[in-house]
Structure formats: structure tokens, C-alpha cells
């Protein structure tokens, strides 16, 4: 049985096409992927992301525990702020990427939907020896994302919303507020490359909040968006997706996420291996590319050197709705990862020439 979010019936009523994703039955699109993508780039879109995992970490050693299991410097996250981090294996491979929110007396850790059970077990395993309490709040809370350049203005006009509080919330800021008559934890975070907000609240309120957010502004101001647009939106600013750009056989330096690894903070899981990888330099690295020939590169397509030998693979590829051309990201030898390098992507058993271009393809427009 596939798992369902509290908004399953609302998705069906809105005409969503449902698909399996990480063990969940989720909407892939409503009006169409490109239409939803453009809505977020130019106005606002609403995503149901209640399938993601939400873990509360509290206790006298909550900060010390998180400092030990994630790659970023948890001690540098002020109260009311959040940051991106990685759970790494002892060999440096990536267990998952996470977002950590520093709340009064506790931390909220958001993990990927497909990794919820694995991450919960990983956190519990490494909690031994720490005076810390872990609570899986995934089923108790719903989680929505209102994203796009109009998100702030629209949300500021919502019932019970303190407009000044929304406007003053900084990038990566998080605060407890009121919205539509209920308590809502709101964060200026997201996964689209646009300004926007993620909302956490008790799951029984999900259908009401969903409908009220869709009704903000004039009719059609906020469009419901599915996983298809979520993927294309994160792809253009080259935001990593677990199982594609990152995974247990990929380390942060290969994934161009070395900036998330704070070796100087002290001991943490994977530190020794990551220090060695950084000192030696990775042998392969992600590279963004555009196709010079006809075709569309898709995830897992082989990459060959121009001389013909296999050298890597595509992690994500698609026609970019914003830029209007087929682009991709590939894991290739470092020598082929610099801008201007060329290689072949094997599409339907035929080589199609590709040229490495600058990442990200689309410059994020976060409000900082």
C-alpha cells in the first residue's frame, strides 16, 4: 500500500495526476508541468510536501548531537534560523541531505520522503551516548510550500497573518505565527530557486490551509503544483536531489557541496574520510551541460569521452522550461568537468555531443 498525505482527496478533486514517489502516492502535475513551473517563476505555486520527514531533536545535548551527525556547523545556526546540511557515512558517502531549523528549546530536522525510515534509524543509532530526545513528528504535521516572487505579498494578506512578521522574516528564518486561526511554524526556505515559504502545522488542518492558500489573491494567483514542476524548478538552479546528484556512493566534494562540510568544527561522522578526500581532491565531479545535438538527456544515461570510452552518467536532464533548451547534470571525471569541456551523452544508443556550461543554469532569486 502506498502512503498518502492528508491532502490526497484534495489532489484528486483538483484533477491531479497521481504517481508513486518514494513509497507515496503523490501528485505529479495538475494543469501541466511547464504551466506550474512558470507559475512559480513568475507568480506563486503551492506544493504539498507532507511526505517529507520531520524529526524533533531536544534535550541538553541536542546541539552537540546534531553537530556530530551532520556536516554543517550547527553551533553557527542562530535561534530562529535554519541551514542546509548532510548526513554522511563514515566513508564520506551521503546518507541524506537535511534542513535544520533552530527553534526555542529544540531543533527541527527535515529529511527526504524516500529516506524517512532510514534517516530515523540513522539518527537513533547515533544518539547513543548523548542526552537527547528524538521525536518523529512526520505523521503529526503537514508541510506545505508556497513558492514564487508573489508569495510574500499573497501570504501577507492572509487571514490572521502578521504582514510585518512575514516581510521581516529573513532568508532561512523560521518563526511560530498564526495563520487562518491556527498555529503555524513558517520558514523562508524552499526548493525552487525562488523566494517563498514552507509551513508546518497540525495535519488535521491541511485541507483547510491548502484551500485557503489557493484562494489568496485573485482567482488563479496561486496554482497547485506537483512533483514534476518541483523537479524542473530545483533542476534549473542545480539544487541536489537524493538518488540523482547525491547518494551513499557520492561524497560532498563530488557533488560540489564541499561548502556544506565544516571540517574545522571538530569531530563528526565521516569527517576523517572527507578530510582525506578534500586533501587528495575528488576524481570525479558534477558538471552542468547543454546538448549540441538533438535529443534530451535523462537521468542514468551513459556519458562517454569523445574518444568513445565510458566515463560517467547523467544524474538529471530535461528541457529547461525557463531557458528553453535541453540541459543536464552529469557525474564525470574532474578533467571533463570544467566549463567548455565536451563529452558524449548516449541517447537511444547514439552519442550526442554535450558541452559543459556554468552552474547554476538559473540564478536563484531568494530574498536576502
What pLDDT does residue 161 have? 85
Task: Concatenate the DSSP letters of all residues of 311-353 into one string.
Answer: EEEEEEEEE-TTT-SEEEEEEEEGGG-STT-EEEEEETTEEEE
Residue 77 forms part of a structural domain: yes
Domain boundary among 80, 106, 136: 136
Beta strands in 188-309, from DSSP E residues, in sequence order: 196-202, 223-225, 284-291, 302-304
pTM: 0.97
In this structure, the answer to whether residues 319 and 338 fall within a common structural domain is yes
At residue 21, the 3 state secondary structure works out as strand
9-49 pLDDT, tens digit each? 999 999 999 999 999 999 999 999 999 999 999 999 999 99
In this structure, the answer to whether residues 61 and 104 fall within a common structural domain is yes
Average pLDDT over residues 241-245: 98
258-282 pLDDT, tens digit each? 999 999 999 999 999 999 999 999 9
State the total domains in the chain: 3
- Provide the CATH number for the domain around residue 177: 3.30.1360.120
Query: What is the enclosing helix (H) or strand (E) of 69?
Result: helix 62-69
Residue 146 sits in which domain range? 8-51+139-235
Q: What single-letter DSSP state applies at residue 175?
A: E
pLDDT at 165 over 90: no
- Provide the CATH number for the domain around residue 303: 2.40.30.110
Query: Cell numbers at residue 257, please?
Result: 557541496
In this structure, the answer to whether residues 102 and 117 fall within a common structural domain is yes
In this structure, the answer to whether residues 146 and 231 fall within a common structural domain is yes
Residue 321 forms part of a structural domain: yes
Query: What percent of the chain has a predicted confidence (pLDDT) above 90?
Result: 98
What does pLDDT average to over the chain? Answer: 97
What pLDDT does residue 164 have? 78
Q: How confident is the model at residue 163 (pLDDT cuts 50, 70, 90)?
A: confident
In this structure, the answer to whether residues 78 and 162 fall within a common structural domain is no
197-225 pLDDT, tens digit each? 999 999 999 999 999 999 999 999 999 99
Report in angstroms the alpha-carbon separations of 367 from 6, 190, 337: 30, 12, 30
In this structure, the answer to whether residues 113 and 171 fall within a common structural domain is no
Residue 150 forms part of a structural domain: yes
Phi-psi region of 340 (alpha: psi -120 to 50; beta: other; left: phi over 0): left
Query: Cell numbers at residue 125, please?
Result: 543509532
Neighbours of 71 (CB within 10 A): 28
Query: What percent of the chain has a predicted confidence (pLDDT) above 70?
Result: 100
Domain boundary among 91, 114, 136: 136
In this structure, the answer to whether residues 79 and 191 fall within a common structural domain is no
Domain boundary among 106, 136, 166: 136
Amino acid at each position: 500500500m502506498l502512503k498518502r498525505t492528508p491532502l490526497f482527496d484534495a489532489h484528486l478533486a483538483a484533477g491531479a495526476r497521481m504517481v508513486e514517489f518514494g513509497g507515496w502516492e503523490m501528485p505529479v502535475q495538475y494543469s501541466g508541468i511547464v504551466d506550474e513551473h512558470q507559475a512559480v517563476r513568475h507568480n506563486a505555486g503551492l506544493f504539498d510536501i507532507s511526505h517529507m520527514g520531520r524529526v524533533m531533536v531536544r534535550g541538553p545535548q541536542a546541539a552537540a548531537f546534531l553537530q556530530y551527525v551532520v556536516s554543517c556547523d550547527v553551533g553557527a545556526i542562530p535561534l530562529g534560523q535554519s541551514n542546509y546540511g548532510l548526513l554522511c557515512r563514515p566513508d564520506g558517502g551521503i546518507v541524506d541531505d537535511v534542513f535544520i531549523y533552530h527553534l526555542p528549546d529544540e531543533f527541527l530536522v527535515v529529511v527526504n520522503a524516500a529516506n524517512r525510515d532510514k534517516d530515523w534509524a540513522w539518527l537513533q543509532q547515533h544518539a547513543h551516548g548523548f542526552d537527547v530526545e528524538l521525536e518523529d513528528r512526520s505523521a503529526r504535521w503537514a508541510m506545505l510550500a508556497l513558492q514564487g516572487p508573489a508569495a510574500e505579498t499573497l501570504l501577507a494578506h492572509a487571514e490572521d497573518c502578521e504582514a510585518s512578521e512575514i516581510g521581516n522574516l529573513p532568508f532561512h528564518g523560521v518563526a511560530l505565527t498564526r495563520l487562518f486561526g491556527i498555529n503555524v511554524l513558517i520558514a523562508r526556505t524552499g526548493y525552487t530557486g525562488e523566494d517563498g515559504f514552507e509551513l508546518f502545522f497540525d495535519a488535521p488542518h491541511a485541507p483547510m490551509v491548502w484551500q485557503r492558500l489557493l484562494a489568496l489573491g485573485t482567482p488563479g494567483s496561486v496554482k497547485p503544483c506537483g512533483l514534476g514542476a518541483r523537479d524542473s524548478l530545483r533542476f534549473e538552479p542545480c539544487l541536489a536531489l537524493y538518488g540523482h546528484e547525491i547518494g551513499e556512493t557520492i561524497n560532498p566534494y563530488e557533488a560540489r557541496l564541499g561548502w556544506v562540510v565544516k571540517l574545522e568544527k571538530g569531530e563528526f561522522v565521516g569527517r576523517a574520510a572527507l578530510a582525506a578526500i578534500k586533501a587528495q581532491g575528488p576524481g570525479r565531479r558534477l558538471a552542468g551541460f547543454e546538448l549540441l545535438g538533438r535529443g534530451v538527456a535523462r537521468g542514468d544515461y551513459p556519458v562517454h569521452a569523445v574518444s568513445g570510452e565510458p566515463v560517467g552518467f547523467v544524474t538529471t536532464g530535461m528541457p529547461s522550461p525557463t531557458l528553453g533548451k535541453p540541459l543536464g547534470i552529469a557525474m564525470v571525471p574532474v578533467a571533463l568537468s570544467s566549463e567548455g569541456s565536451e563529452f558524449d551523452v548516449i541517447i537511444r544508443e547514439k552519442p550526442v555531443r554535450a558541452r559543459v556550461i556554468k552552474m547554476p543554469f538559473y540564478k536563484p532569486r531568494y530574498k536576502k
